[in-house]
Structures are given as structure tokens and as C-alpha cells.
Structure 1
Amino acid sequence: MPSSVRIGSQDLTVDVSSLGAEMQALTSSDGRSWLWTGDAAFWSGRSPILFPIVGKAPDDMISIDGTPYPMAQHGFARRNEFRLAASTATMCRYELAASEATRAVFPFDFLFAVEHAVTGRAVTISAEVSNRGRKIMPFGLGFHPAFAWPLPGASGRAHTVTLDNEGEPGLVRLVGGLIDPAPLPSPFDKGRLVLDHGMFEQDAMIFPEGAGEGLRYGAEGGPALRFRFENLPNLALWTKPGAPFLCVEPWHGTAAQTGASGELSERPSTTLLAPGTTARFAFSVEIGQ
């Protein structure tokens, strides 16, 4: 059975499960809950971590050097039990090492480490992927955290996503779970997007590039969450229409494109990790106004 660890500061408490190294709760000292509750009536996830693919593969199959392997949407890490490698009052580190089961679908020797660390009113979630094998390892890595919409105490207020870079990144959509590469007009206006559930009737809004390294998700004149991204060039926003959550998803890697090869190394934004090296990806979220 999964176990959990609670870490925190005087301002913030974070609960993390050993199943998928997934954050389960994000609670400020005033008792307000900022993370989605995982109500299965809408979506049972809370903050899954996506590895070794982000999104879907054609017919749920990937190819590695021409050999096909079964791979479910968003990969296998979120469904695996991680080992608690270290913990303190403010930090926990979980690890998933390659096993016979993972090699059957992803033939590489890897170590996947996920760390949650709290500082003041912020939590930083980092992932390190180490290639312990002798050949280049392709993979995608993504974070899929869901936050309350409306935010605590902000019912009835308009909610916005505002990019730090004031950009207007191009939008792409999914068709059957795969990316249609045809670019669409950006829904951002000088970096600002007023959220509406109708935007998600065609599934996620995906921004392959140009969203920058930080954003604010907040209610007009009310509470807000501020994000910073490290080595995560892709961004997605997602909810189920009418559901009371918003996923703010920074990725390095996306779903396969429609009509494209199933080869993992050819997917958009795939990392090609050399033997004996480690790649790091991280985001932080801070509670503020």
C-alpha cells in the first residue's frame, strides 16, 4: 500500500505519496487547500508526474530503434511505487529505479528521482533522470498538477493566467489524444488569458513554445499562485469542462503528432540523454495575492 510523507514550513504543508511520488495536498497555514482533491467524479489525479512519455502514443505503442513497446498515456511512473530515499521536515526525495517490469516497456537502465522541498510559502518539485546505461535514452518528462478553480475564497471572481514574458504563444490542439501540429491563434492577449470552461471543450490547450519561464494563476483582486519553470519549455492548461480544477502543466516533451512516426526519439521536445548523465527539470509554486 502507498505510504505518504508530510513536509512543510510555518506557512505551508505538503503531503506526498509514495505512489508516483505524487503531491496529494497543498495547504496554507490558514487552513486553505490549494491543490485539487482528486474527486474521481471528475478526475482522480492530483499532481501526477509524467515519465517516460507525456501524453499519448499512437495506439498506445512507442518505438525505440524500430522495436515496438506498449506505453500507456503519460507513461508508467505515475502508476509505480517509489522508494523514499531521504526526508527532513521540509523536504522529501523519492526514487524509482529501472526494473524488469519497466525494461519490458522501456529498455533502459535509469534512476528517476523526484524531490519536493518547501521554503516559506512555496514548494519546489524537481525531477532528475539519470541514464545508467550505455546508450542514449530518449524520454519525455512532464508535471501535471491540478489546482482549485475557483481558488480558495475566490468564488464568483474571474480567474486568469498571466505569463511573465507577456507573450502570445501559439496554440495547438489534440485530435484523438495526439497533437495536431497546425498552429492556431493564441488565446493570450499581451500575456493575459481570462479563463472560461468553454476553452476546454476540445480538451487541453497546449503551447509548444513561447510561454516562458513563469506565470501567475489567480483570481481578479484575490488569491493567486505564482509559478517558475526550469528546463520545461512546453506548457499545457487543462480541465474537464465544469470541473472545479485547473491543471497548469509544464513539460519537456509532448504527445506524439498526428500521422507521425511512433519512434520515441522523434516526438516533439524529447530529451536524448547521454549515458552516464543526468537531466533536471523543476517547477515552483508560491501562494500569494
Structure 2
Amino acid sequence: MNTSTKRLSNGRISVEIAALGAELQTLTTADGKSWLWNGDAAFWTGRSPILFPIVGKAPDNRIRIDGTPYDMAQHGFARRSQFTLATSTDTLCRYELAASEATRAVYPFEFLLSVEYALDDNRLTVSAEVENRDTRIMPFGFGFHPAFLWPLPGAEGKPHRVVLDNGAEPELVRLQEGLVDEGRLPSPFTQGELTLDHGMFDADAMIFPEGAGNGLVYGAEEGPALNFSFDNLPNIALWSKPGTDPAPPFLCIEPWHGTAADVGSSGELSERPYSTLLPPGQTSRFAWSVELPA
């Protein structure tokens, strides 16, 4: 865990957030149960990275802005950046990342990225604002990447499901060497329900570019459940690291506004699927929340 962390607690739930990446590190309830993945390096060191200014990969790890190439690692630089703690109470904190010499070298815009964590009863809300402080339209993708235990505490050996609030059967897309394959596949959901199996991730993430709605439930049959809601995050992905034995004990529930580049694309950031094109002086907001078992 990053040594610079902020702890929030309201007596029902508590969280810890690292200044590195403004990343959620722990999510626990008053009964001592932990719900967030612990970052075990044997599987995946991430816990809940913030994805900006891209989601996923770029062709040859290089984006283009108005034709000019810039090196850009998968999921962007925010998750590897040191944020500044701007606001802090017992139940709320806000971290900020402003443009710097390092960010301008790979993303030539003036911006402010703010990430806020807030506790209310048994709900955690994570919101982010991207402010364009530049003089031109700023293209970007943004996403959240939280990982939760699978199985959930107290639900060992029970089937786990993802149930969409809207009952939909959204089409599935897959990745080809980290880029989005244009082919749409039949939905793995049946009337909004999907029973999870680790084999589903042998081909990497399951991505639902549209139609998954603004909320879902992740839980065990006859067991605990987590209730999620999403704001301004139209793309949903489910991921667990493939190819490990034993299977990794976590599930990422990833709400995005933007996806990886398409196979065969130029890498132009403004042309990536679902990119935000933010005018100068404007701010975009994104948020997710999770309600934990009472």
C-alpha cells in the first residue's frame, strides 16, 4: 500500500485512499469484512485505478493529437501520478492532479483532474471532474477500474452473478491485442442476469459498449450483494486476470466513458470510441457508487 493514505470512516464503512493515483486501497464495513481486492502481486497489483486520459490501450502504445504522436501507456498516466489532497473531512476527501511538465510531454493540454470520495450511511460514492483549462477542445477518455473480492466475504463456494438493473442483454465486444475488435458478439446476459465463471475471462475483458444501463448488482446467490450505480459512464467492462492457477479471487466492475482504440485505427485520440471532446473552460463529471450490505 502507498504510504501516503487518507482514511475516511462514518462508523458503518471505512475506506483508505492513496495519494498515488488517488486510488482506493481498502473498503471495509463495521463488522470487519473487506470488500475490495487487496492488490496481491501474485495476481494483480491494482485495486481501483483511475483511468485518464485514455481507457485501455492505444496502437503501439501511442496516441495522436491532431496528427502528432505521443507515447501513452495503457489506461493513461493518472494511475501512476501523485495527486494532492485538496479537501479532507472524516467522511469526504478530494484529490487533485493538475497539468505538469511531465503530463504535457505526453498530453499537451492544461487540465485539472479531481477525484472525490464520500461516505453516506453504507454507501461509498466516487466522483471525478475533468476541467479543460486549455484554449482548445480537449479530447480524453475516462474510467474507473475497481476490483472486488470474488468470492465475496461469507459467500465462498456460492455462484456469483451480475444482474443489470435494466434487465438488458447488451452486445459483447472483445479485445484483440488490447484493441477493440469491431465485431459484436451475442450477449452473455439473459434477461439482465449473468452467472460468473472464470473461463469467461480467458479472452480478456468482457466489454459492453452500450446498453448495460446505469446500475447493477454483484452478489452471491443466497449471499451478500453490492449495489452499484453509474453516472455519465455509458460503457461497462467486467474483468478478471486470465491465465492464472488458481484463478484470481477478484472481479473488476469497470464503468467507463471511452474505450480502447479500435483495431486498425490511427490512434487519434479524438476518434477513439466514446471520447469526450471537452470545450475550453468546461468540466465533465463522472461518478460511481456502491451500497454495501447493511
TM-score, with normalisation over the residues of structure 2? 0.97
Aligned equivalent of 2:208: 207
What is the identity, as a one-letter code, of the residue corresponding to 2:252?
Answer: C
Aligned equivalent of 1:257: 262
Q: Which moved more, 1:209-218 or 1:4-13?
A: 4-13
Distance of 1:161 and 1:11 partners within structure 2:
25
1:233 is the counterpart of 2:234 = yes
Work out whether residues 187 and 193 of structure 1, in 8 Å CA contact, stay in contact via their aligned partners in 2: yes
TM-score, with normalisation over the residues of structure 1? 0.99
Aligned equivalent of 1:117: 118
Alignment map for 1:176-191 (pairs within 5 Å): 176-191=177-192
Work out whether residues 2 and 19 of structure 1, in 8 Å CA contact, stay in contact via their aligned partners in 2: no
Q: Offset of 1:2 from its aligned partner?
A: 4.8
Name stretches of at least 5 consecutive residues in structure 1 with no aligned partner: none
Structure 1 counterpart SS, 2:129:
strand
Distance of 2:293 and 2:192 partners within structure 1:
19
What is the identity, as a one-letter code, of the residue corresponding to 1:201?
Answer: D
Structure 2 counterpart SS, 1:150:
coil
Aligned equivalent of 2:20: 19
What is the identity, as a one-letter code, of the residue corresponding to 1:163?
Answer: L
Distance of 2:3 and 2:75 partners within structure 1:
20
What is the identity, as a one-letter code, of the residue corresponding to 2:185?
Answer: L
Structure 1 counterpart SS, 2:17:
strand
Aligned equivalent of 1:286: 291
Q: Offset of 1:10 from its aligned partner?
A: 1.5
Alignment map for 1:80-159 (pairs within 5 Å): 80-159=81-160
Match of 1:269 among 253, 271, 274: 274
Alignment map for 1:187-198 (pairs within 5 Å): 187-198=188-199
Distance of 1:2 and 1:25 partners within structure 2:
13
Q: Offset of 1:227 from its aligned partner?
A: 0.3
What is the identity, as a one-letter code, of the residue corresponding to 1:280?
Answer: R
Q: Offset of 1:210 from its aligned partner?
A: 0.2
Q: How many residues align?
A: 289
Aligned equivalent of 1:173: 174
Q: Offset of 1:272 from its aligned partner?
A: 0.3
Distance of 2:282 and 2:267 partners within structure 1:
25
Distance of 1:30 and 1:130 partners within structure 2:
39
What is the identity, as a one-letter code, of the residue corresponding to 2:128?
Answer: A
Q: Offset of 1:187 from its aligned partner?
A: 0.1
Q: Offset of 1:288 from its aligned partner?
A: 2.3
Structure 2 counterpart SS, 1:269:
coil
Distance of 2:178 and 2:200 partners within structure 1:
17
CA shift digits 1:23-58 (9 cap, x unpaired): 000000000000000000000000000000000000
What is the identity, as a one-letter code, of the residue corresponding to 1:67?
Answer: T
Distance of 1:3 and 1:274 partners within structure 2:
34
Q: Offset of 1:181 from its aligned partner?
A: 1.2
Structure 1 counterpart SS, 2:173:
strand
Distance of 1:23 and 1:268 partners within structure 2:
27
What is the identity, as a one-letter code, of the residue corresponding to 2:289?
Answer: S
Structure 2 counterpart SS, 1:155:
coil
Aligned equivalent of 1:9: 10
Structure 1 counterpart SS, 2:36:
coil
Structure 2 counterpart SS, 1:182:
coil
Structure 1 counterpart SS, 2:181:
strand
CA shift digits 1:152-197 (9 cap, x unpaired): 0000000000000000000000000000010000000000000000
Work out whether residues 238 and 246 of structure 1, in 8 Å CA contact, stay in contact via their aligned partners in 2: yes
Work out whether residues 19 and 82 of structure 1, in 8 Å CA contact, stay in contact via their aligned partners in 2: yes
What is the identity, as a one-letter code, of the residue corresponding to 1:281?
Answer: F
